[in-house]
Amino acid sequence: MILGIHHATFLSSDLARSRAFYEGVLGLQADRTRPVMSFDGVWYDIGTNQQLHLMLLPDPEAGLLRPKHGGRDRHVALSVSGLIALMSRLEAANISYTVSQSGRRALFCRDPDQNALEFIEVCA
């Protein structure tokens, strides 16, 4: 029986650049308990018992043309409160985004390696 999603993983070609986005723009904090592995990376705790992992590894799809709207690409969807505040942070960092085409209070953007992220506003 599947109980939930434990983590999602993205490849990063430049961990410092990725950390600037995930920590500086999105406000995530690195999980210091990540064990030493054969490649560098970072884990972020999101909610209870959920994580986002970044792995510093070459991207086998580098240069692949991605759709402008992340909702038309594989992506991970994250629950957020304060969608307007997130929009302001993205705009201040000059990161483009698109709003959900379904009318939901959601937006899509891409990280520095072109991984698509969806942010869905939920009531706290």
Is residue 80 within 8 A of residue 119, CB to CB? The reply is yes
Give the DSSP H/E element, type plus range, for residue 65: none
- Residue 77 falls within a domain, yes or no? yes
What band does 47 get if pLDDT is binned at 50, 70 and 90? Answer: confident
Which residues constitute the domain of residue 94? 7-59+66-121
Domain assignment present for residue 1? The answer is no
pLDDT in tens, 56-114: 998 888 888 999 989 899 999 999 999 999 999 999 999 999 999 888 999 999 999 99
Residue 2, domain member (yes or no): no
Asked, for residue 106, whether it belongs to a domain, the answer is yes
Q: 18: number of CA atoms within 13 Å, CB side?
A: 22
Query: Is residue 92 in some structural domain?
Result: yes
> Could you tell me where the beta strands, DSSP code E, fall in the chain?
7-12, 41-45, 51-56, 75-80, 97-99, 106-110, 116-121
pTM of the model: 0.91
Q: What's the CATH code of the domain at 114? A: 3.10.180.10
| Predicted local distance difference test score (pLDDT) of residue 124 | 61
Question: Which pLDDT belongs to residue 105?
Answer: 94
